[in-house]
Amino acid sequence: MGEAEIRFDELRDAAQSREEPSPFGARLSVSGSSISEKVGAILEAREEIVEQFHRAGGLLLVRGLEDLREAPDLLVRISEIFGPEVENVRQTLTSDRFFHESVPELMVLSNEPPVGHPPPPLPSPSRTPDGALVVSHPQQSNWHTDQSYRRPPPDVTLLFGVVTPPPDQGQTLFADCSAAFEALDADTKTRLCDLDGIHAPRWIGRSPEDVQAGVTPKPLLPHQRPVRQPLVRRHPATHRPALYLCQPQQMDFVEGPIVGLETGPDGAGADLLEQLLRHATQARFVYTHEWAAGDLVIADNRCLLHCATWYAADRYPRLMWRTTVRGAPGEEYAGEAKSWMPRDGEALMAGMEGV
Ligand SMILES: [Fe+2]
């Protein structure tokens, strides 16, 4: 039995056929003759891994962990490296069809029953004139950061590919919102740092489509209210500022989407959100992950957007496990209780965002 070892490399973006490595992201290789040996090596190198994760802008890929499917609790052990609390999915506004049967920290994402989570639509056209995948908003319409309608929001998401569709479909895209912020002009940066977005789950009737259709927003208890989040967040570990925003369906178009700007789908707030989403999801800021079974992708929600892409769900099964880690959201959230937890006698909402 050989000694397990870890190694870090640059992350290459096969889907974009780029010659150069991705400007953000790192690949962690782990040798070892069994899954317990590999996970043991990961846990032993936890400090170095977290340091590399931050240095790489909050994106880390580990391949070759197929045998994790037989030991889902080990995914929770790996998740614990990335923050103080691996969340219990039952307490994160997630409907129960996404719960794993035995591990409360795992969310199950699948097109198959009982989950039945469909992929996003195929953009039209789906390829650029050069043949590359179309990645930018609004053609790719699913860009978000996980559960930003909770305050403090989750810090890190771990996604593990149990069963993945064939290549060229069902990718996950990641956008580097630190680099996107840095690329803005100085006046825009100053202006954005004073603004807050208002985030809301899509099931409470405050999306642009709901507002346009004249839907009456649901009456909400205090813990069900949309939440304000800074439009620019400073990462607690790296101190780099990053844009923090979401697809319109995860923002509030009744009172927002931007505090202090004209509300509604045709207002100045909507215009700014649209402009920033287009900016942050340009191909130059995006890494495209082509999944293989056994891949683990670790992504920092504090400084990245991500987006699932279409796959032929009528022909291929897709099964992913997800965990979220919370507890280090940055000083703007210091001392805050969980905004979404019900007070005495109130019920926890259930729902699901685009994952
Ligand atoms: Fe997601």
Tens of pLDDT, residues 308-332: 999 999 999 999 999 999 999 999 9
Q: How far is the CA of 261 from the centre of ligand 1 (A)?
A: 27
Q: How far is the CA of 288 from the centre of ligand 1 (A)?
A: 14
**Local confidence band at 221 (pLDDT 50, 70, 90 cut-offs):** confident
Q: How far is the CA of 4 from the centre of ligand 1 (A)?
A: 31
- pTM comes to 0.95
Q: How far is the CA of 157 from the centre of ligand 1 (A)?
A: 8
* Whether 321 contacts 160, CB under 8 Å: yes
Token pair of 174, please?
């990641």
Vertex 150 angle, CA 112 and 91, to 5°: 55
CA 330 vs CA 229, 233, 250, 258, 299: distances in Å: 12, 8, 21, 21, 16
Q: How far is the CA of 148 from the centre of ligand 1 (A)?
A: 10
> Does residue 217 register a pLDDT over 90?
no
Q: How far is the CA of 158 from the centre of ligand 1 (A)?
A: 10
What average pLDDT does this structure show over 141-168? 96
Q: How far is the CA of 308 from the centre of ligand 1 (A)?
A: 8
Domains of the chain, by residue range, sit at 88-333
Distance CA 72, CA 279 (A): 37
Q: What is the mean pLDDT of the chain?
A: 93
Q: To which residue do tokens 């809301």 refer?
A: 200
Q: How far is the CA of 142 from the centre of ligand 1 (A)?
A: 9
Instruction: State residue 343's pLDDT score.
Output: 75
Q: How far is the CA of 186 from the centre of ligand 1 (A)?
A: 30
Tens of pLDDT, residues 222-262: 888 999 999 999 999 999 999 999 999 999 999 999 999 99
Helices 46-55, 35-44: crossing angle, 10 deg rounding: 70
**Local confidence band at 19 (pLDDT 50, 70, 90 cut-offs):** low
Q: How far is the CA of 143 from the centre of ligand 1 (A)?
A: 8
Instruction: State residue 345's pLDDT score.
Output: 65
Q: How far is the CA of 306 from the centre of ligand 1 (A)?
A: 6
Instruction: State residue 351's pLDDT score.
Output: 59
Question: Does 3.40.50.2300 match the CATH number of domain 88-333?
Answer: no
Q: How far is the CA of 3 from the centre of ligand 1 (A)?
A: 35
Q: How far is the CA of 128 from the centre of ligand 1 (A)?
A: 24
Token pair of 129, please?
């004139």
Tens of pLDDT, residues 92-116: 888 899 999 999 999 999 999 999 9
Q: Which helix (H) or strand (E) element contains residue 214? A: none
Q: How far is the CA of 355 from the centre of ligand 1 (A)?
A: 3
> Does residue 282 register a pLDDT over 50?
yes
Amino acid at 240: R
> Measuring CA to CA, which residue among 219, 188, 221 is closest to residue 206?
219
Q: How far is the CA of 188 from the centre of ligand 1 (A)?
A: 27
Instruction: State residue 315's pLDDT score.
Output: 97
Distance CA 281, CA 277 (A): 6
Q: How far is the CA of 354 from the centre of ligand 1 (A)?
A: 6
Q: How far is the CA of 2 from the centre of ligand 1 (A)?
A: 37
Token pair of 224, please?
């069900």
Tens of pLDDT, residues 62-79: 999 999 999 999 999 999
Q: How far is the CA of 240 from the centre of ligand 1 (A)?
A: 22
Q: How far is the CA of 146 from the centre of ligand 1 (A)?
A: 5
Q: Judging by beta carbons within 10 Å of its beta carbon (0-12, 13-18, 19+), is residue 280 exposed, middle or buried?
A: buried
> Does residue 353 register a pLDDT over 60?
no
